Amino acid sequence: MSSRGKKIFLALTIIVPMIIYCYIYYKPIIQNAPFRKKDFVSMDYKWGIKDPLENQYNSADSIYQYVNSRDSIIRKKVPLSKDDILYIHSKANELGLWNFPDTIGTKSSKSLTVPRYDMFFKYKEKSKHVVVYGDFDGNPKLLDAAMQMRKIIEETLNLAEKRSGK
């Protein structure tokens, strides 16, 4: 068999079946990803120490409520742009938010003095709800990723608030 014939045989027996296999295997996974940006419905983000959490944002109605330094509740309408939502969604994908457990830490008597962060992402078919307790002493990488997600959401909300000028 000639050198050219060997290359064609190799391509037909190894490379082409591998490409077909990858296409067949990964196509449904990519198409059926449960947390797609185009399926995004809303995001709820709450944080604070006391129950019920006084600081909150709901992207469905764009209501941003927080307690300022004078212990007054400030309530504003702060809409997120499509770019903001895309940024938060892509960072959630990057940090692996969809693989986080539903609760990071546990509620205890000590938790009454520790901040709690409640993130809820709603999509057409699924939703992801993560509650993070600040005194979590488990896997530090998991806590770090959750805190990065919290920081990204808060920074995006602060930028949107500045843009809205209210």
- Model pTM greater than 0.85? no
Model confidence at 99, pLDDT cuts 50, 70, 90, reads confident
Residue 70 DSSP class: T
Model confidence at 38, pLDDT cuts 50, 70, 90, reads confident
In the beta sheet, which residues pair with residue 119? 45, 130
CA distances, 73 to each of 58, 65, 69, 126, 132 (Å): 16, 7, 10, 32, 23
Each residue's pLDDT tens digit, 71-88: 888 898 999 988 998 899
Q: Is the pLDDT of residue 166 over 60?
A: no
Report how far residue 154's alpha carbon sits from residue 166's, in angstroms, rounded to the nearest whole number.
Answer: 17
Q: Is the pLDDT of residue 32 over 60?
A: no
